[in-house]
Amino acid sequence: MSFFVKGILLEQKKEPMLTRSTLVMRQEFQYFDCDFMETPIDELSKEQIIEIARLAEIVDESDGKMLWEKLEKAELGEKGTLIVDAIDDEPYISSQMAIGIHHQEKFALGIELCEKVLAPAKTYIAMYKHIFDTNFSIPRKIGGYKVEKIGGRYPAENRAYRHIPKGRNSIVIGSCAMLHLARAAEDSRKMSSCFLTVAGDAVSNPRNVEVPVGTSVEEILRLCGLTEEPEVIVVGGSMTGRAIFEPENELVGPTTRGIVALSRSYNHSTYNCIGCGRCDHACPKALSVSTMRKLAEFGKFDELRNYDAAQCIGCGACSYVCPARIDIAATIIKAKKQMELAKKEGTL
């Protein structure tokens, strides 16, 4: 179906954050108590590992759920797959990949503990391979676990979990959660920090940082330094994050993956849509984006429903490619929310 769905190839701009070591902000660690503190790690049982994850309050950064709940509920069966999410296909962001590369031993230990609980038939680490602007090569194995290089165009994260054969269950766990699980099992340390990428052309020392949960964005930017006053500060990924106005009041959480400070905002639209159809080809869900944008602008929601607007995942690929710099994704996402509201009220 590549005739219809082309996707986009993004400049990844992951250097120098990916190869530099992680910068750790000073913090006080918190510890927890439990009955099986003395048990060696090899002899921990399934229930004990789940108990450790519960006591350490580990949050999976890939979807914001509690890790112990995910481990407890998961029923992989005989043919199940455990996928460790270290994809990071958005430009600038490399916080999940960097953990797999710079903290290999603890990362592998975390995977081993998860394997013990879930007993999957297959385990692999997913990483995005199309990083052309660097000499860094992704290792084939990390701590004995196979690294599956996810190719393809943006958004790869959406596509990566779909090539699992049918009838097989799978569970996706983020790589930061693995590291926190290993730390909790070894040192009985609570999860009190999160991993972020601080990048952008206004940052003087772009790096991956480990900061306590609840640090303000201003503090993190001060840690890395600014070369000039940024016009845009983005929390989250550079493709799907949101621009913020009050960096001193904006606190980072476990699911925050990056902070991008840009010295210039992009040039806003001065053109009409010329109908080149690039947004249609960029859409990973094969939606007719150009028609949907027109319908969304005029508020024709009942027609928009026929175009499967509910399937939009908000990846922003359409806005990226638009040569007229129209905010296509924002328009469609807004219309989608209005549609859901209207559906609840029963007017649609």
Partner 1 sequence: MTEKLMFQNAPHVRQSESVRTMMTDVVIALLPIYLMGFFYYGARALMLGLCGVLSCVGFSAIGSLALREKFSFDLTPVITGLIIPLLMPADIRYFVIIAACAVAIFVVKVPFGGTGNNLFNPAAVGFASAAICWPGMVFSYPAPIQSLEIFGESATKIAQSPAYSLALGAVPEYEVLDMVLGNVPGPMGATNIFVAAACGIFLIVRKAVNWITPASFIIPYALLSAFFPRIEASSFDSLCYELFSGTVIFGAFFMLSEPVTSPKRDFGKFLAGITSAAAVFLFRYFGGFEMGFASALIVMNVFSPVFDRICEDILHVYRHKDSLLRKKEQNPEKEEKKEKAPALKIFKKAEKKAEIPEDEEIINVSLINTPGEELVPEEKEEPFEPEEKAEESEKEEAVQ
Site for partner 1 in 4-43 (CB under 8 A): 4, 10-11
CB closer to partner 1, 101 vs 315: 315
Angstrom distance (rounded) from CA 238 to CA 160: 20
Nearest residue to 94 via CA among 217, 225, 237, 252: 237
- Using CB under 8 A as the binding rule, the residues of this chain from 241 to 280 that contact partner 1 are 241-248, 253, 255-257, 260, 262, 265-268, 270-277, 280
Q: Select from 1-9, 15-23, 50-58, 108-116 the region that touches partner 1 (CB under 8 A).
A: 1-9
Nearer to partner 1, 15 or 44 (CB): 15
Taking the complex as a whole, the smallest distance from the CB of residue 309 to partner 1 amounts, in Å, to 10
Considering only residues 101 through 130, tell me which ones interact with partner 1, judged by CB under 8 A. none
Nearer to partner 1, 188 or 338 (CB): 338
The pair of three-digit structure tokens given for residue 346, joined into one six-digit string:
């029963």
Strands (E), the chain: 23-24, 81-85, 122-128, 141-142, 145-150, 170-174, 193-199, 207-212, 232-235, 242-244, 258-262
Size of the site for partner 1 (CB under 8 A): 94
- Contact, 177 vs 100, CB < 8 A? no
Binding residue for partner 1 (CB under 8 A) from 205, 240, 303, 338? 240
The tokens describing 23, both together, are 């910068």
- CA Rg, the chain, in Å? 21
Pick the binder of partner 1 from 38, 42, 229, 345 (CB under 8 A): 229
Distance, in Å, from the CA atom of 29 to the CA atom of 222, rounded to the nearest integer, reads 22
Distance CA 33, CA 183 (A): 14
Per-residue contact track with partner 1, 65 to 104, x per CB under 8 A? x----x--------------x-----x-------------
Beta carbon of residue 329, minimum distance to partner 1 (angstroms, whole number): 6
SS3 298: coil
Smallest distance from partner 1 to CB 170, Å: 7
Please, what is the angle between helix 104-118 and helix 46-55, to 10°? 120
Q: Which is nearer to partner 1, 48 or 174 (CB)?
A: 174
Burial of 46 (0-12, 13-18, 19+ CB in 10 A): middle
Nearer to partner 1, 182 or 282 (CB): 282
Q: Which of residues 131-190 bind partner 1 (CB under 8 A)?
A: 155, 157-158, 161-162, 166-167, 169-172
